[in-house]
Amino acid sequence: MIIKISKEKKGVKIIFVQKDSRSKKISFLSKGIGNISEIKEYLKLYNFEANKNQSILFNINKKKYLVFSIEKNYSLDTLRKSASKIFKELKKNKEKEAHLIIPNEKEEEIIAIIEGANLSDYKFDKYISKKEKDINLNITLDISKNFEKTIKDTITICNNVKETRDLVNENANLITPIYLEKISKKLAKDKKLKIKVLNEKNLKKENLGLIEAVSKGSPKTPARLIIVEYKGDPKSKEKIALVGKGLTFDTGGLNLKPTNYIEDMKIDMAGAATVYGIFKSAVELKLKKNLFLVIPSTENAISESSYKPGDVIKSYSGKTVEITNTDAEGRLILADALSYIQKKEKPTLIIDFATLTGASMVALGMETAAVFGNDNNTYKKLKKISKENGEKIWKMPIFKDHENVLKSNIADTLNAAIGKGRFGGASSAAAFLKGFIEKDVKWLHFDIAGPAYSSSENSYIPINGTGRYVRLIVEYLKNN
């Protein structure tokens, strides 16, 4: 899909209308169409009532029109979903050119329309032999040239959302820690960024015991800790670490996952894919921020060398961890990554993303990230953005009892609660991570086990990897 500003009005003219609920009169939000009375006659002829989200495609004297009815006081996400619907309608009719006459020449509305259309233009069909033929749709917008950069930046972010989806959707036999290292190195080289990668030997030498323990079951797919630095604002003391769980395949370890729970475990690196998408967007948009991309990455596999339930392991921070369940491995690799980045780079804010717990899905469903942490100020700002951008978040607590259930008799902490302590598992997982956050460091933890993945296509969210939260955090970094 190509979206550009142009006065050329080729192809289908897309017109937004609205119905007054009392008078039932249809008003045209899109201005400068010309032959409105003729279009109105056709709408009457086709009994078009302009109900919510109703659309109609028709010809008048060889000119094609797509009229779309949008609700009154629509939100930006409604506009995004409308653009998705319009795009799919054009695609279904194999249209190649369209001219969209936007309802309002406002930046946020232009962004929402581009996102809705562009994010719907996605399919992971690499492994399908007989692919559907793709039609490249050209969409023109007759708006001020001042929005040129807005359009370019929005498309950059959308492309990174799609790359995040691709990383999640791709096979686990391709997306390994080494692969994540490779793409991070390429990004660092292309953009002249500092990169540090700890391989299996460095991890051992520097005592990142938790990452090492989880990786022991997959000696042929060794672990990595990847750190890329972007200094967009050298004068500022603020440093944000974006940490993502890069578990490239989670069997559960010796606490093996059963059938029906293991099939989609290639997605357990979605946290890493999300922070990669955010970081790459920030670099490409040249945002004035100092950022670290931090990806602890390993498999959690089974072999004779796998770490075992009952093992006590010393973390990078020095804290010892009793393993009660080898399937609670995400928090282990995150804990070492969190300690390491805090010690080496002293970030002022840490935001981590992880497909961490089934309990977060039980609590909030499949579309909402459970957010934990001590930085209510940043959370409030994110919540405000989230209300309009469609990526839902909800703040969850870490109470004292969530910390207490992690008490061990033989070590400083359990990795996962046992018995009745297992209830509230999203909060106790977050409590475990909290134990590795140093005093006065601002921290937010996103448990995205549900929203990272979708079992069906829904508007601009495709089936499988969703790429959610890349847009949310980029928007935050842009404006704060």
Q: Rounded CA gap, 193 and 283, in Å?
A: 9
Strand pairing category for 224-231 and 240-244: unpaired
Residue 475: CB minimum distance to Zn ion, A: 30
Q: Shortest gap between Cβ of 356 and Zn ion (angstroms)? A: 9
Task: Say if residue 186 is exposed, middle or buried (CB neighbours under 10 Å; 0-12, 13-18, 19+).
Answer: exposed
We find the least distance from the C-beta atom of residue 209 to Zn ion, in angstroms, to be 18
Minimum CB distance to Zn ion smaller for 135 or for 262: 262
Measured distance CA(183)–CA(188) in Å, rounded: 9
Number of residues that bind Zn ion (CB under 5 A): 3
- Residue 86 or 416 with smaller CB distance to Zn ion: 416
Q: Which is nearer to Zn ion, 163 or 327 (CB)?
A: 327
Of the residues 245, 331, 392, 468, which is catalytic? 331
Cβ neighbourhood burial of 282 (10 Å; 0-12, 13-18, 19+): buried
**Closest distance between Zn ion and the C-beta of residue 326, in Å?**
8
Q: Which position's Cβ is nearest Zn ion? A: 327
Site string for Zn ion, 268-307 (x = CB under 5 A): ----------------------------------------
Span of 121-129, 153-161, 323-331, 408-416 interacting with Zn ion by CB under 5 A: 323-331
C-beta pairs of 134-137 under 8 Å, 24+ apart in sequence:
135/91, 135/94, 135/95, 135/96, 136/1, 136/2, 136/96, 137/1, 137/2, 137/87, 137/90, 137/91, 137/95, 137/96, 137/97, 137/98
Annotation marks residue 331 as catalytic: yes
From the candidates 91, 257, 308, 319, give the one annotated as an active-site residue. Answer: 257
Residue closer to Zn ion (CB basis): 115 or 329: 329
CA dihedral sign of residues 314, 343, 276, 126: negative
Cβ atoms within 10 Å, residue 32:
8
Least distance between Zn ion and beta carbon 324 (Å): 13
Minimum gap (Å) between residue 250 Cβ and Zn ion? 4
Closer residue to Zn ion, CB minimum distance, 250 or 284:
250
Amino acid code (one letter) for 38: E
Q: What is the dihedral of CA 313, 316, 319, 325, to 10 degrees?
A: -40
In DSSP notation, 325-370 reads -TT--HHHHHHHHHHHHHHHH--SEEEEEE---HHHHHHH-SSEEE
**Residue number, 232 or 358, with CB nearest to Zn ion:** 358
CB of residue 265 vs Zn ion: minimum separation in angstroms? 8
Which tokens hold the place of 376?
A: 């209510």
Task: Of 110, 153, 76, give the one whose Cα is nearest residue 386.
Answer: 76
Q: Which of 115, 163, 322, 327 binds Zn ion (CB under 5 A)?
A: 327
Is 257 an annotated catalytic residue?
yes
Q: Which of residues 223-252 bind Zn ion (CB under 5 A)?
A: 250
C-beta of 121 vs 250, nearer to Zn ion:
250
Which residue from 169, 177, 175, 176 is spatially nearest to 127, judged by alpha carbons?
A: 169
Instruction: Assess 447 for contact with Zn ion (CB under 5 A).
Output: no
Catalytic machinery residues: 257, 331
Q: Which residues bind Zn ion (CB under 5 A)?
A: 250, 327, 329
